[in-house]
Amino acid sequence: MKYAIRLANHALNHNEVPVACIFVYKNEIISYGMNSTNDSLSGIKHAEFRGIEEIIEKVTSIPNYSDYYKEPKDIFKDIDLYVTVEPCVMCASALKQIGIRTVYFGCGNERFGGNGSIFQINRDKTVSENSYTSYPGIYRKQAILLLREFYTRENSKAPEPRSKKNRLLNKDNFPELNWANYVSKEEFIQLFGEDKLSAFHQNTDITNVDDEMVGELENDDISDIIKWSQKELILKGIALWLTPKKGTHISETLNSLSSGLRLLFLDSPEFEPHITITSQLKVENKNDVNKILGTCLAALGKDIKLNLYFKALVVNSKNPYFKKVHFAIQRNEYLVGLAMLIRELFVTEDKESAELWALEQFDPHCSLVYTNLSHFDSASIKTIKTRVEDLLNLSDISINQEDDLFKDLDIGWNGGMLKIVNCEGNVQDWEVLGAVDIH
Ligand SMILES: [Zn+2]
């Protein structure tokens, strides 16, 4: 959402209504949109439409897209939208028809809102079969401040805009956020956790205007976002994995956790526990595979131990299929450095965007379960927690927040195997193309 806020701020600086969005596919920004109603004098150029059009164009330009998606719009079942203002009735209807996976927005749209403020198009079965969950309140105050600034300027026609700092630091007088208009209590818990539930009952915000973001808005440069969104869309997912070595303590632990938890989900396939260092590798043949693995070995050298440890146990439904239940992994310089290098050489072919990706988007984690289940009730969260505690021999670990308990675990993920894996199609069809031992 921070990226969407930056785009909205950019729109404001160009005298457009400050509403903007980004679309995220496989953890990457693949498209963005900003309002251009003023500029084009057309009432329908809403941010969402621009983003959708661009994605459809990208998909249809891939000759064999139908190997992956029956129709171009089917890609939206793997795409999440982050938009600063609740989609209007028209956009909500379009998003529903293309089958967007999840929407996250900043503030409500009190006049035309289609996700709960006025109508709840996203859940209306008469519009189309699809339905999506739409979460309000993500950087809501920031989104409101941007809109207020726009309308103040419009109304006063003030030649000199007030200083950006002042407008962005004005933290008073926000309307209540009536969560129940948009999401159920269960959905709220899935995304934000039970500990935040008081916000749901008291109609208050989860996020505040933070000084760090105000600082970021001082700089109007959005070239990084544009660059990401212009990257070629690659549907085939060849990834570099780090897996623990068979027979080690960490390998046994993760395997028993994963197989134990899979029993709780009917749709969860079996897979090898791993940390994805990057996906979207450009691999054409065996030679490319060897080259990537060789580069990894050279980069890590003999003496570097990755020494990874778990940071948090994450259980929620906001994330895609692959991230519903996972351990977040503490980043360290070697892991980030390796991701950055491989990304630069074999994904982006551009140092700057590889660095940005590694610093801002790289999110090392180890999944325990893959599932499409989008509802976790507190009973199943409790079961997951208990199973993990039993298997790791820990008591009372936290869910969805960093936990120092993991630091004392002697799990010894100090190396393992690097593998190039073709993750196309069903999980059962994934294929290891090559592997090296990094000890
Ligand atoms: Zn709209």
Instruction: Quote the ligand 1 centre to 111 CA distance (angstroms).
Output: 11
Check if the beta carbon of residue 104 is closer than 8 Å to that of residue 3: no
Distance CA 131, CA 134 (A): 10
Instruction: Say what the pLDDT of residue 151 is.
Output: 85
pLDDT at 10: 93
pLDDT for position 152: 84
Identify the burial level of 393 via C-beta atoms within 10 angstroms of its C-beta, where 0-12 means exposed, 13-18 middle and 19 or more buried.
exposed
Predicted local distance difference test score (pLDDT) of residue 158: 52
> What separation in Å is there between the alpha carbon of 47 and the centre of ligand 1?
7
Q: pLDDT tens digits for the chain (439 residues)? A: 999 999 999 999 988 889 999 999 877 899 999 987 655 555 557 889 989 999 999 988 876 677 677 788 989 988 999 999 999 999 999 999 999 999 999 999 999 999 999 999 998 877 677 899 999 999 999 999 999 988 888 766 555 555 554 554 455 688 999 999 999 999 999 888 888 999 999 999 988 777 777 777 888 889 989 988 888 787 767 999 999 988 888 899 899 999 999 988 888 889 999 999 998 898 888 999 999 999 999 998 877 777 888 999 998 876 667 788 999 998 888 899 999 999 999 987 788 888 988 888 888 999 999 887 767 888 888 999 999 999 888 889 999 899 888 887 766 677 789 999 998 767 888 899 999 998 7
- What is the Cα–Cα distance from 263 to 257, expressed in whole angstroms? 10
Whether the pTM exceeds 0.75: the reply is: no
Residues 6+ apart with CB under 8 A from 311: 327, 328, 329, 330, 402, 403, 406
Which listed residue (16, 48, 86, 187) is catalytic? 48
Q: What's the 431 CA to ligand 1 centre distance in angstroms?
A: 42
Angstrom distance (rounded) from CA 277 to CA 282: 14
CA of 45 to the centre of ligand 1 (A): 8
Q: How far apart are CA 132 and CA 124, in angstroms?
A: 10
Q: CA-CA-CA-CA torsion for 366, 359, 333, 318, nearest 10 degrees?
A: -20
Q: Looking at residue 169, what is its pLDDT?
A: 47
Among this protein's residues, is 284 annotated catalytic? no
